[in-house]
Homo-oligomer: A and B are copies of this chain.
Amino acid sequence: MKISVKQCAELLSKHSDIIILTHAHPDGDTLGCGFALFRALKKLGKRAVVLNDDIPEKYEYLYKDLSFDSIESGFVVAVDVATPNLLGELEGKYHINMCIDHHATNTHYADYLLLEETAAACETIYKVIKELGVQIDKDIAGALYTGISTDTGCFRYASTTPQTLRTAAELLELGAPGAFINRLMFETKTKTYARLEKMAIDSMKFYCGERVAIITVTQEMYKLSGSGEQETEPLAPLTRQIEGVEIGISLREKPCGGCKASIRTFESVNAAQLAAAFGGGGHPQAAACRFDCGVKQAAELLVAKCEELLK
């Protein structure tokens, strides 16, 4: 059943024990939602907990001062979770009473669904917390700002609406440390990542009349840089940034042979279609697939398919 912000706040007000679930491989938006809502519920004197998968270290500022209540059962709320299988290890462990989300692809799996197709789910959580009558402090504001900033690429993407910017403005006024958050999310490279990025850029090769760019990350490069697979996320977009490149691919060698390709495209090419040719999938402009062969052979296979798609 779809509900409004007001109905959502009323339902939350009625319950004293609330379990908040975020999606697996959590990002700034799901974590921002989870910890902002948790802090708001605690201010109302409720018992609450946020459950999630491994949180990347850079988000520590969102929760380092918190302690959660031990709750076995309660009213279960999933935040920024489009489908139950995105819950990872939490999938199937709880009956989901409520979902607060912004994905058009939400599968309406919860008893109550508050769905607004905003740039970030944190935009809706902000409204819910205001409706709950909670006074928003700098920690709540910072958590909400984190979700909005990270889900919009710091207000870069087409999903950013005037309302997104106005909400961010209000959150700054409420004490969100915007510059600190953006620096941490977008402007900080570890020395090991900086070394890996340099090697990855050195490895960049162009194909198909320079419309395709591929960077290759080998196990050797992880060793030399001191970096690892978990730091490779920002490499994929680097290829697509070169003028004229329509398909950018980062190929990463796996420790036990085989490799993984992250594909980024602009509107002219469907990344999911390219990935699907090798059993992968994803979004129109960002997709991924795996290969059992080495990086050299994988690059050849990908280039052949790119040639077809660019014809």
The residues of A with any CB-CB pair to B shorter than 8 Å are 154-158, 160-163, 165-166, 168-170, 172-173, 178-179, 182-183, 186-191, 194, 197-198, 201-202, 210, 237, 240-244, 266
CB proximity of A65 to chain B, nearest CB, Å: 22
Taken together as a complex, chains A and B put the C-alpha atoms of A25 and B241 apart, in Å, by 23
Query: Within the complex, which residue of B178, B190, B244 is in contact with A191, where a contact is CB–CB below 8 Å?
Result: B244
Judged by DSSP, the binding face of A is: helix
| A and B contact pairs by CB, cutoff 8 A, 10 listed | A154-B154, A155-B182, A156-B179, A163-B169, A165-B172, A166-B169, A183-B266, A187-B240, A188-B243, A194-B241
CB proximity of A198 to chain B, nearest CB, Å: 6
Per assembly, the copies of the chain total 2
A242 touches B191 (CB 8 A): yes
The 8 closest A-B CB pairs, nearest first, are A158-B179, A162-B169, A165-B169, A156-B182, A165-B165, A190-B243, A155-B155, A162-B172
Taken together as a complex, chains A and B put the C-alpha atoms of A190 and B245 apart, in Å, by 10
Taken together as a complex, chains A and B put the C-alpha atoms of A173 and B163 apart, in Å, by 10
Contacts of A189 in B (CB 8 A): 241-243
Taken together as a complex, chains A and B put the C-alpha atoms of A210 and B191 apart, in Å, by 10
Interface centre among A179, A201, A210, by most B CB within 10 Å? A179
Q: Other than A156-B183, A165-B166, give 11 A-B pairs with Cβ distance below 8 A.
A: A156-B182, A162-B172, A162-B173, A165-B168, A165-B172, A169-B169, A183-B266, A187-B237, A190-B242, A190-B243, A198-B202
Query: Within the complex, which residue of B166, B170, B188, B198 is in contact with A201, where a contact is CB–CB below 8 Å?
Result: B198
B166 touches A178 (CB 8 A): no
Taken together as a complex, chains A and B put the C-alpha atoms of A161 and B178 apart, in Å, by 9
A172 touches B178 (CB 8 A): no
Contacts of A201 in B (CB 8 A): 197-198, 201
Contacts of A243 in B (CB 8 A): 188-191, 194
Taken together as a complex, chains A and B put the C-alpha atoms of A198 and B166 apart, in Å, by 38
